[in-house]
Structure 1
Amino acid sequence: MSDDAGTVTLTKMCLKHGIDMPRKGKLAARFQTAFPAAHYDEEAGEWRMEWKKGSFAESNARLEAFFAENGVSISHIDRC
């Protein structure tokens, strides 16, 4: 995926999200600033974020707002 990701995939896996976007680049740097608890999972090849039970709606809203502000479309996969 290029640094100029037009679409990212958010995979909801119950207590964590997988975010399919570039590991490095401007978007990744802004993402790390906005979500300092996020980390890149080398094995999975995507960003991961852990969420507390009951905060899924809030977490999705924050992620959607971040990507919208950065001109990136989102697709969702629910594996929970």
Structure 2
Amino acid sequence: MDVQMKDSGLLHVTLTKMCELHAIDMPRNGELAEHFQLAFPSANYDEEADEWRMLWKKGTYAESNARLEAFFSERGVAFSHVDKC
């Protein structure tokens, strides 16, 4: 899992776009995960991949990324994108 504590103490999350599948590399449990589940109820944790997964329809990627970015930014969590689509 690529979740890292930065020098500033902020959590870093990697967001991976795999076409219709988005992977969110963050811990399964904890306060951030609880808020994430409330904000994105369609997300589920993939035990095998050890990351959160969400499906989004083609044509909504920009909106999807904006929602994820806003969610993490509002909580002071740094993030980066990986595009595998």
Does TM, normalized by the shorter one, top 0.5?
Answer: yes
Which runs of 5 or more residues in structure 1 are unaligned? none
Distance in 1, matches of 2:74 and 2:28, equals 19
1:59 is matched with which residue? 64
Describe the superposition over 1:31-74 as per-residue Cα deviations: whole angstroms up to 9, x where unpaired: 00000000000010000000001000000000000000011011
| Cα RMSD, aligned residues only | 1.5
Q: What is the TM-score normalised by the length of structure 2?
A: 0.88
1:45 is matched with which residue? 50
The one-letter code matched in structure 1 to 2:18 is M
Structure 2 residue 70 is matched with structure 1 residue 71: no
Of the two, which has the highest radius of gyration? 2
Structure 2 residue 27 is matched with structure 1 residue 29: no
The one-letter code matched in structure 2 to 1:71 is G
Q: Which runs of 4+ in 1 moved over 2 A?
A: none
Aligned residues: 79
Secondary structure at the counterpart of residue 52 of structure 1: coil
Percent sequence identity over aligned pairs = 67
Distance in 2, matches of 1:41 and 1:5, equals 24
Displacement after TM superposition at 1:16 (Å)? 1.1
Is the 1:5–1:21 Cα contact (8 Å) retained in structure 2?
no
Secondary structure at the counterpart of residue 62 of structure 2: helix
